[in-house]
Chain A
Amino acid sequence: MTKDRRYGNFSLLTSFGLLLLFLCQQVSLAAVHHQRISGSAGDVLEDNPVGRLKVFVYELPSKYNKKWLEKDPRCLTHMFAAEEFVHDFLLASPVRTMNPEEADWFYTPVYTTCDLTPNGLPLPFKSPRMMRSAISYISTHWPFWNRTEGGDHFFVVPHDFGACFHYQEEKAIERGVLPLLKRSTLVQTFGQNHHVCLKEGSIVVPPYAPPEKMQSRFIPPSTPRSIFVYFRGLFYDVGNDPEGGYYARGARAAVWENFKDNPLFDISTQHPSTYYEDMQRAIFCLCPLGWAPWSPRLVEGVIFGCIPVIIADDIVLPFADAIPWEKIGVFVAEKDVPNLDKILSLISPEEVLEKQRLLANPAMKQAMLFSQPTLPGDAFHQILNGLARKLPHDPQIYLKPGQTVLNWTEGPAGDLKPW
């Protein structure tokens, strides 16, 4: 009897101790988590992905990638150039492995945004078919796709609405994410909460901005910042939205109508040659949504130390799990745009100085750039860090042989034509 009681006491004690331990761990984790973010713009930015994951790069025929580049080299300079640069980076990276059996992630280099109009805008009409064709290629030539039906594959889809492959939001929502990519990880620039085109587990990256072009335009940091709010861009898209109210959900037009005569707001549609220099003389840079919520202004603002004022409801910003955007930028709801001047002038100077200090952190600036040659902590490494954070894979993604989840005939009929 006493033995049992002792055992009972002992087990009670051990369980209590384990509970305490567990609680302590949680608390400490929370404390560490809090500290990490409150540190210098997130210490997660400085993680080194080498050694934490292995990526296998499929060799696709050049019609999926190189032929497009030969046809139009502008693909390397527009804001969707991330897909080309990620490919080049992975080919030369130490995380690449030639042995697919030991790879954690598989990358398919298909340039879906390289079909450009004469103006330089990408046409997404052939992209779903191209993607399908690429996937069918890799599924027939390698066994790894069928093993997981894409659960451990990732694709770079930097176009306007990601893997919905359309530039018009209505049509993109109608199409939804390409059904074959339902189980894969998507690396995209588009990020909006509760939106069809942002899949669970996607990695949001910044749009491509040429690093040399920006880094050659620095002015001395002692130049006083005398512009309060700076913005250059369209307010009304008369060509595509003649009535108004569709473009940017009316937010950009609201900015113009409310603040066009405000001396604090240096806003205009004229694109000056001193655009980068002016950003360095400004305290706040507006980053309102356009047809899609993301814009290269965020990258430019971070590089030039101008606090981004993000006017895009429900936006998911790049590397949101590594970069504490609330501490760095100012978020303004679209309905609060008429009061933007009041909001910005009421921010205390200490807060503004703190934000500027965080922006001045070189790790922060590095993380937004796809630098050539690659530097530690740049956007490529952040993508790999993001992929490494998703490891180890959930064992459920591995399918039994013969089991299929994806429906290859799903989607609009136009997509099913071979490419």
Chain B
Amino acid sequence: MKANGGVHRLPRARSKIQYGCNLEQVADGTLRSLTTPVSRLTVQSMLCFISLILGFQFTREATIFAGNLQHGTVSNTLSSFNFSANIRSGIRSNFAMQISQTLGNGSDVFGTLVRSILPPDPVVSELSKSKKPVVWQHEILVRPWPHPDPLEVMQAYGLISRIQLEQRQIHGIKDWKPIIAITPTFVRAFQALHLTALMHTLSLVPGPVTWIVIEAGGVTNETASLLTQAHVHRLLHLGFVDSITPGLEEQPLLETRLRIEGLRCVQEHKLEGIIVFADESNVHSLEFFNMVQEVNWFGVVSVGMLGHASFGEPMEYDIGALHEGKNEEQGSHQLSGTILRFEPQVQGPVCDSMGKLVGWHTFDGFHLEDRVFKVPDKSHEGRLEWAGFVLNARAVWEAGSDEPVWLDSWLNWTRSSGDKNLPDIRSILRDEKRVKLLGGCGHQVLLWWARMEAHANISYPSNWALDSPLEIVIPARSTPWTDMPKGRPSLPHLPTPSLLEAVTPAPTPSRRKGGNRVRGRDSKLKHSRHRQDPLKGKVTDDRRNPGSSRRS
């Protein structure tokens, strides 16, 4: 440290530390100007006295520093700051200050001081108090570029992923059963949106996933191109030759056919694992795949239904009528005799206090209906989404197990394309003992159903790829914003262009007044807006002198 460089010099009256030289220079200068030896003597004695005081202080600092060095504490570096601070504030002359600052900067061991706070003047306090202050103001160390370094960030993320891997190995599920995800799809505008989202979800599942994608209308390149980035254990892209009926009403029918086809594929290939009906537009939480690992034969999960316009609206109930029944509640507001309750839009099993399945809570997303019905009641059946059911693949193909009569009937149904009645997925739940209610009888909602589709006759570039730049712009059919005035939006304080033309005649290019930064005549019209820049206050000038741009 440079400041320590001064330590090595012995404190003598005339040449103390480096700053002492400057004082000496000053002193010499003044000395030379003096003629009488008396004045010389007085100046000399004054200088001697000053250097005595400073030298005394300096030697005290040095001894304390040496003492701290002995103890080997970190505070020695801090005391060195104190030391430089003493120098800084002890000297009152101008260039001595400069020198002390360079000294201070030189004594900076870290070389990273950007912001340094000058401590309060310790010289005066030192002379007044007998004790040395031990609590002092410290520098706040900020490095010159206080921003993240990308390499370090990458290393840190590597560390995080290693730790998470270890966590999974210790606390995660052992013996991960493979997941078989059956996804019906067909080519349409939003297919890219939904399918890539599902693809990323399935790629993140920490275990082997067999993804069966059944496409209506045969295997297409478009879908295949979307599936290229899937990191799944096995991908089966099947085509089901059938005409696509893209209307929203017919979509459940189509999807059911495709799903059943997927089940047939599982039967044919004798795949092992847990079958999950992963619709493309559903949102799956990764914990969902942990939850379904508990399935033995059949499992039922709760599906959160994100409906269309009316979801989230509260319903009013009389307080008296409330004390029966609904076991799930999310929030309620007291409203003088009636209560507003936000009903959860969830499709799932309803259990009694023993944990037995007694009924289903359904929400028909396609028809925006909310119904509850009990198990034996077949007449009032709401549609249940297949996504809420999970089954063991062996149930589909294993000979000797619960013979998949239901699968055969479903396959018959698919072959007869005229039937509009959907097969009931609950027919697989005949044997209640084999049904596992996952997620605490449906209390955990880790899967959400939502249907967002574009207009049926919307046109979009195939593969969502543009080969050539856009040339023709076809205005989309859209509703105009109701709160904006028609026409081009204009700022209130700007004059309209027509007024502009009348107000500003062409200025001569050679005249340039200060402050009236008018450009040449050619640029008048182009830069007319700049001239009217309200920040520069030109508008008022023009209003004052409407006929000329010259200022008087």
- A313 interfacial by beta-carbon distance below 8 Å: yes
Does A349 contact B171, Cβ atoms closer than 8 Å?
no
Residues 151-171 of A, flagged 1 when their CB comes within 8 A of B and 0 if not, give 000000000000000000110
The reply to whether A345 and B117 contact each other, CB–CB distance below 8 Å, is: no
Contact of A245 among B110, B137, B152, B158 (CB under 8 A): B137
Stretch touching chain A among B69-77, B92-100, B409-417, B467-475:
B69-77
Given A245-B140, A250-B141, A258-B146 contact (CB < 8 Å): yes
Which residues of chain B come closer than 8 Å to A174, judged between CB atoms? 131
The complex places the Cα of A174 from the Cα of B129 at a distance, in Å, of 13
Partner of A257, one of B142, B168, B171: B142
Q: Is A221 an interface residue (CB 8 A)?
A: yes
> In the complex the two chains form, is A356's CB within 8 Å of B140's CB?
no
- Given the known interface contacts A173-B135, A257-B142, A314-B73, the answer about A349 and B164 at a Cβ–Cβ threshold of 8 Å is no
Residues of A185-223 contacting chain B, CB below 8 A: 193-194, 220-222
Residues of B within 8 A of A325 (CB): none
Residues of chain A lying within 8 A (CB to CB) of residue B119: 245
Contacts of B171 in A (CB 8 A): 220-222
Partner of A224, one of B134, B138, B164: B164
Q: Which of A261, A334, A346, A356 interacts with B147 by CB under 8 Å?
A: A261
Whether B245 is near chain A, meaning CB under 8 Å from some CB there, is no
Q: Which A residues lie within 8 Å of B141 (CB)?
A: 250, 254, 258, 335, 337-338
Cβ B166 vs Cβ A353 within 8 A: yes
A283 on the interface (CB 8 Å rule)?
yes
Give the residues in chain A near B117, CB-CB below 8 Å: 243-245
- Note all chain A residues with C-beta closer than 8 A to B30: none
Q: Among A193, A244, A264, A339, point to the contact of B148 (Cβ < 8 A).
A: A264
A313-B137 contact given A261-B147, A341-B152, CB 8 Å threshold: no
A352 proximal to B (CB < 8 A) = yes
Which among A258, A261, A345 has the highest number of chain B CB atoms within 10 Å?
A345
Type the 1/0 row for B167-180, where 1 means its CB is closer than 8 Å to any CB of A: 11011100000000
Tell me whether B140 and A225 are in contact (CB under 8 A): no
Q: In this assembly, does B371 line the interface, its C-beta being within 8 Å of a C-beta of chain A? A: no
Bound CA–CA A333/B149 (angstroms):
21
A243 in contact with B137 given A222-B167, A222-B172 (CB within 8 Å): yes
Q: Does B133 contact A (CB under 8 A)?
A: yes
- Most interface-central of A173, A224, A259, A347 (chain B CB within 10 A): A224
Q: Which positions 216-261 of chain A face chain B at CB distance < 8 Å?
A: 220-222, 224-226, 228, 243-246, 249-250, 253-254, 257-259, 261
Task: Offer 17 A-B interface pairs, CB within 8 angstroms, sorted by A.
Answer: A193-B73, A222-B167, A222-B171, A225-B160, A226-B160, A226-B164, A245-B119, A245-B138, A245-B139, A250-B137, A250-B141, A257-B142, A257-B146, A261-B147, A337-B141, A341-B156, A345-B155
Task: Given contact pairs A222-B172, A262-B147, A338-B141, enumerate 20 new A-B contacts (beta carbons under 8 Å).
Answer: A221-B167, A224-B168, A225-B163, A226-B160, A228-B159, A243-B137, A257-B142, A258-B146, A259-B146, A261-B147, A262-B148, A335-B77, A338-B110, A338-B112, A338-B142, A341-B152, A341-B156, A342-B152, A349-B158, A353-B163
**B contact residues vs A (CB 8 Å cutoff):** 71, 73-75, 77, 110, 112, 115, 117, 119, 131, 133-135, 137-143, 146-149, 152-153, 155-156, 158-160, 162-164, 166-168, 170-172
Binding site for B on A (CB under 8 A): 169-170, 173-174, 193-194, 220-222, 224-226, 228, 243-246, 249-250, 253-254, 257-259, 261-264, 283, 313-314, 333-335, 337-339, 341-342, 344-347, 349, 352-353, 356
Among all A-B residue pairs, the 5 with the closest Cβ atoms:
A222-B171, A245-B137, A338-B143, A250-B138, A349-B162
